[in-house]
Amino acid sequence: MTGHGLDPAIELERLQKKSLKDEVFEYLHRRIVAGKYSPGEWLRQEELSTLLGVSQTPVREALDRLVSVGLAERVPYRGVRVPELNQDEILDAYVLRTILESAAVRIAAENISDDQIKALFEIVAQTRPLVSLDDMSRHRQLNKAFHISIVQASGNSLLSKLYEMTSNLFPDWMLYEYMFRHPELLQVSLDREYQEHRAIVAAIAAHDAQQAVAATLLHIKHLGQELVDYLGIPTGRLQEKERQIGLNPVPSAEE
C-alpha cells in the first residue's frame, strides 16, 4: 500500500472534514479513477484502516459503496478488489446500456416533470467547471447521476434497476483513468460530453422523444469510440455488436 505514494497525515486531515465513510469512499474513488490501483488489485480493509488511521467500520462501508457503484468487486472468501473486465463483458455492458438508455430517454421525454428537468440542467451545470484531473472523481459521480436521473425520470422502476446494474459494469472509470495518463485528451472529451449532455436535456425538456433518442445514441456512440481508442476494443467487434442492435449508423442529433 505504501507504494502508492500516499501521505496518511494529509489523508487523515481530509477524512475529518466529512463523515468518515464518505471521505474514505472519496479517497478510494479518486485513487481508482486516477489509476493508482490496478485492475485486479486487492483493497484490503485492515491495511486501509491502518493507513488512514480510522476504524475498519467506515472502510468496510466505503468498500461496500465502491462495489455498489461498480468500481470494485467482492470475491467470496477473498475480499474486495478493483474489477478486471474482459472485452466480452465491456461490449455486453455497452450493448445493454445502449438499449436501456435509449428506451428510458424516450419514455422520460414523455413523463418527466419540471423539477426533474431542472435537476438535470443543474447536474450538467455542475460538471462545467470540473476540468482538471483532480476533478475527475467528482465529475464521474455527476456523470453517473445524470444518466441515472434520466432513467429514473422514465418512471419505470424495473428499467431503473436493470440500468443501474448495467451501468455498474460499464467501464467508464477505465476511460477516466486513461485520461489521467493522457491529459491532453481531457479538455476535448469533457467539452464534447458537456455539449452532448445539454443536447439530451434540451430534447427531453422539449418533450421531443425522437430528438432525445438521437442525442442519446450519438453520445453513447462516442463512448463506444472511446472504448476503441482508449481501451483497445477492436473496432470490428464493436461495430458487429452495434449492427446487431441496429445502432449503425447512428442518427445525428441535428437530424
Helix (H) / strand (E) element for 81: namely strand 79-81
The per-residue DSSP string of 123-177 comes to: HHHHHTT--SGGGHHHHHHHHHHHHHHHHHHTT-HHHHHHHHHHHHHS-HHHHHH
Give the pTM.
0.78
pLDDT per residue over 45-91, tens digit each? 999 999 999 999 999 999 999 998 778 999 999 999 998 889 999 99
Residue type, position 45, single letter: Q
Kindly tell me if the per-residue pLDDT of 2 is higher than 50.
no
Q: What percent of the chain has pLDDT over 70?
A: 90
Q: Which residue has the cell 425520470?
A: 153
Domains in the chain and their CATH numbers? 2-81 (1.10.10.10), 87-244 (1.20.120.530)
**C-alpha cell, 146:** 445524470
* Residues facing residue 42 across a β-bridge: 81
pLDDT per residue over 156-175, tens digit each? 999 998 998 888 788 888 88
pLDDT (average), residues 5-24: 62
Helix (H) / strand (E) element for 74: namely strand 73-75
pLDDT per residue over 123-160, tens digit each? 999 999 998 888 887 888 899 899 999 999 999 999 99
Specify the 3-state DSSP secondary structure of 79.
strand
pLDDT of residue 253: 46
Question: Helix 114-127 to helix 186-205 angle, to the nearest 10 degrees?
Answer: 170
